[in-house]
Structure 1
Amino acid sequence: MINEAALLESKTLRDGVLERTDVLDRVKALSLLPDGMHVTTAMVAAYFEVAERVINRMAQRHRDELTVNGLRILRGEDLARFKGDTLSLFPESYPQPRSSLALWSRRAVLNVAMLLRDSNVARQVRTYLLDMEYLARTRPVETPARSRDVPLDDRIDQRITHILGKTVVPMFNALIETSGEHRQELTSLREDVERIEQRLCDHHTRIADLEHTGGPRRYTGIMASIDAMNWREFEHHIAVLLRRDGCTDVIVHGGPGDRGVDVTARTADGRSVVAQCKSFAPYRPVWSGELQKFLGASRVQHAADVALFVATTSFAPDARAIAEAYGVTLVDRSHLEKWSAGVPLPVLQ
């Protein structure tokens, strides 16, 4: 079993568990900015119950690692845009930065938990991570006789992973605890073994996803953040995505008097864009009547080149038929998840 000291000292081990951002909410609630995806340095410090200067010093020492995992420093136009799109929604709740602003993703916050030595909250997060890793490694593996429908290579992967987790890694842990002269070499060898074990686990997961779900899900947690937004925050979230995909003149119109559209913009090649944003519960689909209303607003009132209907749910068959007949681009829950995760929307390119 991986111990806490190894997690603090080994970047390889940290990289292997960075997808488990749900652990953060098991320890305590992590407050997010209105965009539903980021926190400030002050919010990171509050979560881990340490002084903000502690987070700043740690960020300086591990800047490259944290940047890879989602730490961004906004300055200039990027900072001004973020203030207008996000912080301006609740000016009384968040201090307005002057020259720069550090934004931390949930993945970067989890990275902090594995770097902070003197935080009780960080220790609790590491404990949850280690427990989850232990459970994953010690989960019983079916024997070939009981799983004939599973491909042979897949069964071999599971058996090797089981052996590595149950025997080889514990053996290295015992040797490291009692060794002196060769401690560093043994630690390095153990990390190599654990890296192989992690790759086998990843391989098994990818194969299972491809066989049973049509592809891996890489965007865990994004829709939970979007579902927590109110209608105004959701509209501004869509505005942020439009700007990220190269749109200019992005304006949020949502509310009374919006003439049937929530956001207008212009693509990089000059086409006009109008978007309707519906933040519905996942079980409540968008019906054809709502598509008909938007069709009139986007085509007749605004003469839009690109009409987007973005929803946090699915679209009824009649609504999809109307959209296909009149050239409306539908962004349903699954497409919204991918768009929010960084996959560009083709119609805007």
Structure 2
Amino acid sequence: MNNIKHLIDPMDLSIMELEDILGLANDIMKNPKEYSHLLSGKILATLFYEPSTRTRFSFEAAMMKLGGNILGFSEPNSSSVSKGESLSDTIKIVSTYADIIAMRHPKEGSAKVATIYSSVPIINAGDGGHQHPTQTLTDLLTIKSLKENLEGHVIGICGDLKFGRTVHSLIKAISRYKNNKIILISPEELTIPQYIRDEILIKENIPFIEVERLEDVIDKLDILYMTRVQKERFFNEEDYIRLKDSYILDQSKMSKAKKDMIVLHPLPRVNEIAQEVDKDPRACYFKQAEYGMYVRMALILKLLEVR
């Protein structure tokens, strides 16, 4: 079991492995038929203890487009979890049925725990407010495809930076590439966790600033990464209501941005991007969701060591 390759944190992948996955995803996009039967007879288990649309569907679509099959649950109450089954027992059982497991769980560190009990590769599809490495692979593929490289960008990350696992994972990954500058845009209550600030940005000498107003910096950005304020991460509904409309990207703000800036969002959105922005050619979040399927296809092939 110790030799099994898992993906729990973006840093689990070396730069070479990252580039390999992104390159493979790009080739799959260009030549999908060549990959359509590579996983015939293989099974992906999707264990989603939290709601999901894009992540779960993109994993399932990825497996099916590779010729494989899927099993799993999208609601823990429909499984033996509702009877009190432990995570360790669920993983032990499911790993005897499946060749690879994608798991989303509300508790931080749950995916790491799952690797202890699994006899097959585990992919972290989001663990609480901690990490979301496959969304990060999606983000990197999107940036590389639309901006041609992963270096030398001014990246604005806006919204819920405290609880946003996609934000934490992206900062970890993008900090490994040269000459990127990060602008963190959030209300004071939702600023980036101290460990991300200290262990990644400061330790790795990544230039960054923190601001509260998107309007003050949007003209400087090459990439704007919007996020929603996540109701499910708040213990106090009053705090959520007070902060949920902190940032709304509309066409008025977009008019101040560079002509070649791209707007990304891990989705789902609530109201932080006005629908009028969807028509702007710089709005790339739906294309980003499509890239997510291809990069997950590449990742599954990589972890199952199939070429």
TM beyond 0.5? no
Bigger share in helix? 1
Q: TM-score, normalised by structure 1?
A: 0.27
TM-score (normalised: structure 2): 0.30
Bigger RCO (CA 8 Å, 6+ sep)? 2
Bigger Rg, structure 1 or 2: 1
